[in-house]
Chains A and B, each alone.
Chain A
Amino acid sequence: MKKDLLGISDLTADDIYRVLETAEAMREVGQRPIKKVPTLRGKTVVNLFYEPSTRTRTSFEIAEKRLSADTLNVAVSASSVLKGETLVDTAMNIEAMAPDMIVLRHSSSGACHLLSRICRSRIINAGDGMHEHPTQALLDAFTIREHKKEIAGLKIAIVGDLLHSRVLRSNALLLTKLGANLWVCGPPTLVPPGIECLGAHVTTSVDEAVRDADVIMMLRIQQERMQGAFFPSLREYFNVFGMTKERVKRAKPDVIIMHPGPMNRGVEIASDVADGPYSVILEQVANGVAVRMAVLYLLAGGVEDETAA
């Protein structure tokens, strides 16, 4: 592993397998009566979140605490950012207090790369704009492997708001590295140009994407990032692209349905699918803790090209 985890694009297939195997062992820690190991004792981890988050921030915090790291959350809504401090200044001030790792979520793509260049601390990307969300892709891969053993050769359909989705980018990079047959589907206005470079088949037909799929991954319609009308109405979107029981029937009988959350029920996914027998959505959340523990553990080790430390 490198100094930081900025994106799946920095990882080799071997790195990915190493994280997934380590996560297997970390999951066992979460099943013990005492869910804590002393591994990161004395290390300080700062969770710096510039965007709202429930799942990812809680998941990182639990992972850090289970490894005995000292953690603190900087809630940007109550910080000097409101007084006009820049990201770099905030980061340099946090850095002056010598944390070992910074977990950053930011609305601008590349924010983590910026900090990576100026910080001595390890940087973990917890989502940067429309770019990457590597730990989400890793926990998705972990969940898929739990059900399907190997990712290579699976037909995986990712359906929804492709344009604004960092989850899509990280997943597409990871799943194609591991040899999946990846299909992506969304309304033409929400398909980013050049997406086929990621190695995915592109379609605007949900039926084609879902046909004989092993895995269906739904993406949230990210209205907070939408300036302009990408589709006529949410009801119209659901009618054409929403995942319903009838559409799930076209997939393989042992298909699993995934969603990175938060869900818009009745927009991209029907409630009876989200809560139905094929859904592994809450397993994804549970696995997130083990996968983030693995990432924290592996990044706490040394790196060969370390210069600043």
Chain B
Amino acid sequence: MPVVLDADRMARSLARIAHEILERNSGPGSIAELALVGIRTRGVPLARRIAKSLLDISHHEVPTGALDITLYRDDLSSHAVGPQPLVRKTEIPFSIDGKLILLVDDVLYTGRTIRAALDALIDFGRPKAIQLVVLVDRGHRELPIKADYVGKNIPTASTQNVQVHLMEIDGRDEVEVLP
């Protein structure tokens, strides 16, 4: 299957999302309440890129953190065979109380990762609101979860595999759908 999003279109999608974020949160003082939290692994560089765009557009530095959801997964005990997934560090170097959190991930699929991320975030405090940013929405939700900002909707079959490659991790910007 072909590349469904190349580097140029990915950059434009992220820039558009940054503008949408500012449009939706334009009330007095709103921008000071914004904070970005990327879900490991690929949500983290995406959150940093959006932070950079927000800085360029609004000259406002939005604090950015990284969230690892492994300890909140709902499938840990059902993985009876095979070792536990690697746990990495959660780094949220600011208080989320009263903040408008923009939760960032690469692909929205079943929604289970986002469920885990919401539980994890709420253990850090009481944000004013949480909005969801995803680069790709591929459908097939298993939980009542919807993204607020979507880079690209890509209809897929559940047998397919959506792979996001990012410069910071994989050396190139590209989204592919594999059979």
Contacts and interface: CB of A to CB of B under 8 A. Distances in A.
B60 to A, nearest CB: 27
B68 A302 contact: no
A193 interface: no
Contacts of A67: 71
A300 B82 contact: no
B171 interface: no
Contacts of B81: 302-304, 306
A37 B70 CA distance: 10
Interface residues of B, number: 23
Contacts of B56: none
Contact of A24 (B77, B83, B89, B123): B89
Contacts of B79: 301-302
Nearest to B83: A301
Interface in B118-177: 119-120, 123-125
B87 A297 contact: yes
A301 B84 contact: yes
A217 B35 CA distance: 45
Contacts of B91: 28
A1 B76 CA distance: 16
Contacts of B76: 39, 300-301
Contacts of A37: 71-72, 120, 123
A29 B68 CA distance: 11
B86 interface: yes
B80 A25 contact: no
Contacts, number: 64
A309 B84 contact: no
Nearest to A1: B83
A34 interface: yes
B88 interface: yes
Contacts of A42: 77
A306 B84 CA distance: 14
Interface in B59-78: 68, 70-72, 76-77
A26 interface: yes
B83 A25 contact: no
A308 B68 CA distance: 32
Contacts of B123: 32, 34, 36-37
B90 interface: yes
A232 interface: no
A6 B154 CA distance: 49
A28 B89 contact: yes
B119 to A, nearest CB: 7
B77 A300 contact: yes
Most buried by B among A26, A297, A301: A301
A8 B97 CA distance: 43
Contact of B119 (A1, A18, A21, A38): A38
Interface in A40-69: 42-43, 67
B82 A301 contact: yes
Interface string A1-42: 100000000000000001001101110110011101111001
Contacts of A270: none
A21 B80 CA distance: 22
Contacts of B70: 25
B87 A22 contact: yes
Interface in B83-110: 83-84, 86-91
A28 B80 contact: no
Interface of B: 68, 70-72, 76-77, 79-84, 86-91, 119-120, 123-125
28 contacts: A22-B86, A22-B87, A24-B89, A25-B68, A25-B70, A25-B71, A25-B90, A26-B87, A28-B89, A28-B90, A29-B71, A32-B124, A33-B124, A34-B124, A36-B123, A37-B71, A37-B72, A37-B120, A39-B72, A39-B76, A43-B77, A67-B71, A297-B87, A301-B76, A301-B82, A301-B84, A302-B82, A303-B83
Given A1-B83, A38-B71, 8 more contacts: A25-B89, A32-B124, A33-B124, A33-B125, A36-B123, A39-B72, A302-B82, A303-B83
Smallest CB-CB A-B distances: 8 pairs: A301-B84, A37-B71, A25-B87, A302-B81, A39-B71, A34-B123, A302-B80, A25-B89
